Copies of this chain bind each other. A is one copy, B any other.
């Protein structure tokens, strides 16, 4: 029995962390909001480290690892607030292809994903929380409708879940496809709307509600990993600030109020790490628990992260509120993760259903 990370996993996190410290320092995080910023700028570097191919089977040029490894990567991306695609492009998309793609689709697409040459967005929002005027219908093998909050929107192609539980591959240049980018408070990741009007699309033959469930659950775990990393960054920033900033002639970290704010942050956050490991491992190895763990994890980490983001900002005083330290990018990353692929209330409702406690 070994509940912890392997030396390889630790080394992978460390090297990814070092890479991001160089490739995505605060200046780059700031630049991400400029229209001129290429949202896929970090992809080649990530691909070189294997991040793009984490979930791609070795037979298709990837590392063939699991959701746990993806969650560990997400933690480092969140920690750096890295302006890069990940949850859709390198988790949900390869997982979907591996689970539901035809051998031809897998052979054609997975190697390119692993190399970082094919960036894929994921349109699953309506499967999680349906909005009245959105959703994608299939008519004679073509797609029509609206898909909102498509993740990793700056993509070459999209995986679109249709209302009937199907999964479709849609090229960015397909006919009848209109792409409408959204702006959110988080400027490091792209979302948007796909409008489809009899748009040609290729079905993934193995699609089923159970497969969709697994993809969404993996996405939830990965977003929780991102929040864990972002929150860890904010906690460490707050602790460092508290040690150096002086007021009333002493470091503010020697005031019990500030100390206790830091202690409360750490006490609530640190168990999220083991929880992430467990829930991610469940996606890979404990199928009977996987969905429940993903729902609980997503909700719990979102609540802890939201409170922590507020507290860490307060510890920084006015500086936390300004753009000078850039702390708000992490605050917003946590707020964004909270709402995507299921809000805490919704995840808890689903957890209750999975436990057989609600209809």
> A257: CB under 8 A from chain B?
yes
Residues of B within 8 Å of A257, CB to CB, are: 256-257, 260
Residues of B within 8 Å of A255, CB to CB, are: 256
CA distance A260 to B260 in the complex (A): 11
Min CB–CB distance A226 → chain B (angstroms): 32
CA distance A257 to B262 in the complex (A): 13
Chain A 228-256: CB-based contact to B (< 8 A → 1; otherwise 0):
00000000000000000000000000011
Number of copies: 2
Residue ranges of A at the interface with B (Cβ–Cβ < 8 Å):
255-257, 260
Min CB–CB distance A266 → chain B (angstroms): 16
Q: Describe A's contact surface by its main secondary structure.
A: helix
CA distance A274 to B245 in the complex (A): 40
CA distance A257 to B264 in the complex (A): 12
Residues of B within 8 Å of A256, CB to CB, are: 255-257
Residues of B within 8 Å of A260, CB to CB, are: 257
Min CB–CB distance A7 → chain B (angstroms): 40
> Looking at A255, A257, A260, which has the most chain B CB atoms within 10 Å of its CB?
A257
Min CB–CB distance A57 → chain B (angstroms): 50
CA distance A336 to B257 in the complex (A): 32
* CB-defined A-B contacts under 8 Å, sample of 5: A255-B256, A256-B256, A256-B257, A257-B257, A257-B260
CA distance A257 to B260 in the complex (A): 8
Sort A-B residue pairs by CB-CB distance and give the 5 closest, nearest first.
A256-B256, A256-B257, A257-B260, A255-B256, A257-B257
CA distance A257 to B257 in the complex (A): 6
Min CB–CB distance A311 → chain B (angstroms): 14
CA distance A158 to B173 in the complex (A): 79
Min CB–CB distance A115 → chain B (angstroms): 54
Min CB–CB distance A250 → chain B (angstroms): 12
CA distance A6 to B257 in the complex (A): 40
